[in-house]
Structure 1
């Protein structure tokens, strides 16, 4: 399976401008809520849904799960397909799929590189340094996926994602479970700091 090149454009691009959704529409607010409270796991679901919509709309033989597992490499392909669909409808959208994709690759590689440098420089990796690395990268990932979703919503003629704004019961349960995980992580962090378990 190749994730590095776009499928050749066919002369029959009417399928690109059909009314059938080709990508996953969701409001930015809901996307951020679900991504945050599921500790980022919603981004995997988001990727799967996009590839599932694309496969259904085009009939192309793509595996949404594998494309999502390899999303660091397939992200550019997905965004390029979104951009192609936008252009096929005679519209333009001010964004850069390439830059967003580079951002995803940097976010994926940076933690291990920076923490490896810190460990070899200081002989340890304090929790505070881990947070200094992860928090900005998390914010950057939020911005990247949000920017990509804005383009997808525009692509599907639903700029604010009105077609998918409410949390389903399953999504609500997942968000609540994620919130409990966040509370548990904060409590573990506070206890470890008080007991001196980790080097802060």
Structure 2
């Protein structure tokens, strides 16, 4: 089972320092892989919104998969995707570490953004539990449906930093929607229709 390091406070001085704290393979050195996952900001917004946030699991998985390959880390990308609230701080530390490794600077509030993501996720979970206990509040139900979308902001800012970091290395350009993306978008659109129908019922628009 992986050691939970997502809430480490110290920001590593280099990518090597981060590796040391992430159980890298003994004697491992950076490999010839793109260190992070690139996606255009426009595509990120489209995929996150139209899949109602489900895209974030793929996003986290791809980031950790890239880091694992680049630094030969002994981590489980799937686990870090599912339990993203424990590892988003660590992920953003890696982004900062790689930017410093390329001898550049990028100004962004990585700790605050990671904390925002965690707090929104926790608030969403608490709200869902309150609704299970008492589903008479239409307002809380509507808020619970849209609150997870607020997690897009810290991921958007994170991707901006990642795309900046990747300017120092050749990487695949990921800005077009693939047929698989369209498949998820169609499923997401159906879910959106269902959500809007639920809201309409709650507001008494249909009945």
Name the TM-score, length of structure 1 as normaliser: 0.80
Task: Name 2:57's counterpart in structure 1.
Answer: 44
Cα offset, 1:3, TM superposition: 2.9
3-state DSSP of counterpart to 1:8: helix
Cα gap change, 1:41 to 1:119, in 2 (>3 Å): closer
Cα gap change, 1:101 to 1:23, in 2 (>3 Å): same
- Equivalent in 74, 77, 86 of residue 99 of structure 2: 86
Cα offset, 1:70, TM superposition: 1.1
3-state DSSP of counterpart to 2:162: helix
Residues 100-179 of structure 1: pairs in structure 2 closer than 5 A = 100-113=113-126, 125-132=136-143, 135=146, 137-157=147-167, 163-179=173-189
**How many positions carry a matched residue from both structures?**
189
Give yes or no for contact 1:21–1:53 (8 Å, CA) kept in 2. Answer: yes
* Distance in 1 separating the partners of 2:90 and 2:145: 26
Cα offset, 1:117, TM superposition: 7.4
* Distance in 1 separating the partners of 2:195 and 2:143: 16
Task: Please state if 1:2 is matched with 2:6.
Answer: no
3-state DSSP of counterpart to 1:94: coil
Backbone CA RMSD of aligned residues: 3.1
Cα gap change, 1:168 to 1:138, in 2 (>3 Å): same
Structure 1 unmatched runs, 5+: none
Q: Deviations over 1:77-131 (max 9, x none)?
A: 01101100000111011012211111112101223446777999xx765122333
Give yes or no for contact 2:98–2:165 (8 Å, CA) kept in 1. Answer: yes
3-state DSSP of counterpart to 1:156: helix
Task: Name 2:13's counterpart in structure 1.
Answer: none
Give yes or no for contact 1:26–1:162 (8 Å, CA) kept in 2. Answer: no
3-state DSSP of counterpart to 2:4: coil
* Distance in 2 separating the partners of 1:62 and 1:115: 30
Structure 2 unmatched runs, 5+: 9-17
* Distance in 2 separating the partners of 1:165 and 1:188: 33
Q: Which moved more, 1:80-89 or 1:175-184?
A: 175-184
3-state DSSP of counterpart to 1:78: helix
- Shift >4 Å, 4+ stretches: 112-120
* Distance in 2 separating the partners of 1:117 and 1:177: 28
Name the TM-score, length of structure 2 as normaliser: 0.78
3-state DSSP of counterpart to 1:39: coil
